[in-house]
Amino acid sequence: MGHIGIAARSAEVGGDAVVQSGPYRLFRHPLYLGNFMLVIGTLLQFRPPVWLGVAVTGGCLVLYGLMARAEEKHLANAVREERRFSWRRAWAERWTWLVTLAVAGMCLLRTRLL
């Protein structure tokens, strides 16, 4: 988020440029990859029934795949842009940071209590 900012957190497909700096040099959709890894980590930690794990994993793959495809279509002719990391843009995601820390804390507690 420090590279693309809060504008990426919208229910609407938008954006006016394709960011090619930071993690976007390596992956077209690093936020989706990170979110998917959080889901997988949470599933591994809490060990739900196999059918539920498969359903959640499949649902995430379909959802993020559709979102990525819509963004690619929207940004097909957009300007390519290099952006420097900004703590101001990253701070806009403080609620995501808190949720991530809460999930990590729950996983740590669960590990310690087992």
Antiparallel, parallel or unpaired: β 17-19 and 79-81: parallel
Q: In the prediction, which pLDDT does 10 show?
A: 64
Q: In the prediction, which pLDDT does 93 show?
A: 76
pLDDT in tens, the chain (114 residues): 666 666 666 666 766 777 777 777 788 888 888 889 889 988 988 889 999 999 999 999 999 999 889 888 887 877 777 777 778 777 877 887 888 888 888 878 877 765
Question: How far is residue 104 from each of residues 2, 8, 94, 98, measured CA to CA in Å?
Answer: 21, 24, 15, 10
SS3 74: helix
Look up the pTM and report it: 0.71
Q: Tokens for 9? A: 């957190």
Q: Is residue 45 a contact partner of residue 108, using CB atoms and an 8 Å limit?
A: no
Q: In the prediction, which pLDDT does 54 show?
A: 95
Q: In the prediction, which pLDDT does 24 show?
A: 79
Q: In the prediction, which pLDDT does 19 show?
A: 73
Instruction: Please measure the distance between the N-terminal and C-terminal CA atoms of the chain and give it in whole angstroms.
Output: 35
